[in-house]
Structure 1
């Protein structure tokens, strides 16, 4: 060590955390020993900082208000404790002065590295999704923070805390999604409620670590491709069901009509004609049954009105078959004449 270095160490006048990086939560003031503390005249705690005095592994005093403290004359408990310790300690390793960040650490991003898996309550198939968002926190209990997290570490960063916090977030979100049974179509609309539930459960965990969770948000979710494909298929079927309903057909009937169209487009005229005939016969039974049901439910009407309604319904459905291409114009005209003649 140079002579200049020795004198600089012997005549230290200020103890402070000058390099107050935004990424550091906890910082040990380096090279604090007997001589430096004796010769230091001031302790500077800047805004957004706190100071901790640790003796023999235990926190013995804390400063949480910014200010300039005179190490010789101030009556602050921290200074009094420091003076007593430095007069009697035998080894420089027994006494440590630490600084910590008192401001809130905001907008810390989190995300699920692997998909969360659970059973969709509506469709009853397993789905996988990833989520991401952000959170904010601050050190609320420096004693718990020191005991539960810091230990003998000289420095603890925001990135170190992020790794610890994110692992707890994933555990809680997985539990909430599984127990809450949120359906695929509900997830996006439930972000606020899920965020509140996660925050409530994480609050106790943070408190045990000496931290306070001031904000937690879910920003987006992303489902795996297999889940997206399944939902797309279900959506297509739903559209077909709605379309069939508007045509007074069931989904099964609609599928039969689709089969007729597909058969008509394919080669092999006889087979296609047979498929049309069989499906047409099945549809005819359905239409007849619908007509019988209609007549039964309207039994309060007189016979003539019921017969008129029956013929009208048959003509309506006959027209639909013509428009769908199931029957030809000639077949339509012949059947229409048969129905009208019954009037």
Structure 2
């Protein structure tokens, strides 16, 4: 340090956070030895606050903008020159940490691991990823400084974002389970889910010194296994509706299809007959079941023709059998 630098370091200062960067939440005022002199001036600008750490303890917290007088036991020249024993270094350290009071907006978030829950309607395991945006601000700077940031010189928005969004998946899974939301209804309930998740997150984030000012769940995506399960449900639903339109239950139709396949490949599906409670030869069993459906009564001709068409489409009956039975019903009217 030159003589000019020494003289400058002995003078009172005007301390402020100039050129505040948007990616900083907490910023320590740079001082070579933190021996800020008595009667220095501290400027706290709009959107800022300041925490003062003197002799290793938090002694003040300034949350309002303005100009403040600083008091310390570091007097120009005198204090430094009297510290020969400690190599002219004063133990009266004053560290000033500025923090951001303005809102941090429009931060993107996404789940790094799948959220798992059981669908309350179809009782299938569901795994999904989610994404959205959130906004936050510091509400308890002293707690954040003492318990999260510590004595670091800077704390970045990116670090806070990672800290906060790590709490999101658990709350999302909890809200989905508590709200009994089926996978079919999630996209239609995004505003309601966003509100519920935000309310559940607030107490935990408050304990870290933050507050959510906004939270949005923008979308979800299912993993491959869940997509396959959903596809199977869709297929079963479609087949059930088709069977219903044909005057058959889904179970009846599945039994007929199983018997049809088993009769065509008796060696490979011999167990199907036993599972369906029949003890006779599979081909004969299929014929009996088919005849039962062919000759089953129906409330009207339209319903019967729908049933016959379904049996033909599923290859349960032949075109000839369909034509004969159709003619038989038409002849009745």
TM-score clears 0.5? yes
Q: CA deviation at 1:36?
A: 4.3
Superposition pairs for residues 30-41 of structure 1, below 5 Å?
A: 30-31=30-31, 36-38=36-38, 40=40
Distance 1:331 1:19 in 2: 84
SS in structure 1 at match of 2:95: strand
Q: Which residue of 2 aligns with 1:83?
A: 71
**2:227 corresponds to:** 228
1:32·1:96 contact (CA, 8 Å) conserved in 2? Answer: no
Contact in 2 for aligned 1:28/1:154 (Cα 8 Å): yes
CA contact (8 A) 2:34 2:93 kept: no
Summarize the Cα distance change of 1:317–1:92 in structure 2 as closer, same or farther, 3 Å threshold. Answer: closer
Shift of 1:193: 2.1
Q: What's the CA shift for 1:287? A: 5.4
Number of aligned residue pairs: 305
Deviation of 1:25 after TM superposition, in Å, equals 0.8
Give the structure 2 partner of residue 150 of structure 1.
Answer: 149
Mean Cα displacement is larger for which, 135-144 or 11-20?
11-20
Paired with 1:21 and 1:321, the residues of 2 have a C-alpha distance of 69
For the Cα contact (< 8 Å) 1:120–1:183, is it kept in 2? yes
In the alignment, the residues of structure 2 paired with residue 220 and residue 335 of structure 1 have an alpha-carbon distance, to the nearest angstrom, of 50
Looking at structure 2, the residues matched to 129 and 143 of structure 1 have their Cα atoms a distance apart, in angstroms, of 37
C-alpha deviation, 1:286, in angstroms: 3.7
Shift of 1:176: 2.9
TM-superposed deviation, 1:253: 4.5
1:26 corresponding residue in structure 2: 26
* Match in the other structure for 2:275: none
More deviation, 159-168/100-109: 159-168
Map 1:171-210 → 2, pairs under 5 A: 171-210=170-209
How far residue 315 of structure 1 moved from its aligned partner, in angstroms, is: 6.8
Indicate conservation of the 8 Å contact 2:246/2:307, yes or no: no
Alpha-carbon contact 1:117-1:127 (below 8 Å) kept: yes
In 2, are the aligned partners of 1:114 and 1:130 still within 8 Å (CA)? yes
Alignment partners' CA distance in 2, 1:331 and 1:164:
67
Q: After TM superposition, give the deviation of residue 225 of structure 1 in Å.
A: 0.3
- Written as runs of structure 1 = structure 2, the 5 A alignment for 1:35-184 is 36-38=36-38, 40=40, 42-67=41-66, 69=67, 79=69, 82-83=70-71, 86=74, 91-92=90-91, 94-184=93-183
Q: What is the DSSP-based 3-state SS (H/G/I as helix, E as strand, rest coil) of the residue aligned with 1:215?
A: strand
Corresponding position of 1:17: 17
Structure 1 length-normalised TM: 0.73
Offset of residue 94 of structure 1: 3.5
Aligned-pair CA distance for 1:288:
4.6
Q: Secondary structure at the match of 2:240?
A: helix
What's the CA shift for 1:127? Answer: 1.8
Hey, what's the Cα distance between the residues in 2 that align with 1:2 and 1:232? 77
**TM-score for both structures, normalised by structure 2:** 0.75
Deviations 1:12-41 (A, max 9, x none): 64211114111111111121657642474x
Distance 2:306 2:43 in 1: 90
Separation in 1, partners of 2:21, 2:139: 19
Hey, what's the Cα distance between the residues in 1 that align with 2:291 and 2:208?
Answer: 73
For 2:329 and 2:125, the matched residues in 1 are separated by 54
Report the CA distance between 1:99 and its aligned residue: 0.8
**RMSD of the alignment, in Å?**
3.8
Higher fraction of helix: 1
For the 8 Å contact 2:51–2:58, the answer to whether it is kept is yes
Q: Are residues 85 and 35 of structure 1, via their aligned partners in 2, closer, same or farther at CA, if it must alter by over 3 Å?
A: closer
Q: Is the 8 A contact 2:37 2:73 kept in 1?
A: no
Indicate if the aligned counterparts of 1:322 and 1:328 stay in contact, CA closer than 8 A: no
CA drift at 1:281: 3.3
Q: 1:254 to 1:34 in 2, by over 3 A?
A: closer
What corresponds to 2:288 in structure 1? 281
Cα-to-partner distance string for 1:185-205 (whole Å, 9 max, x where unaligned): 122222222222221121112
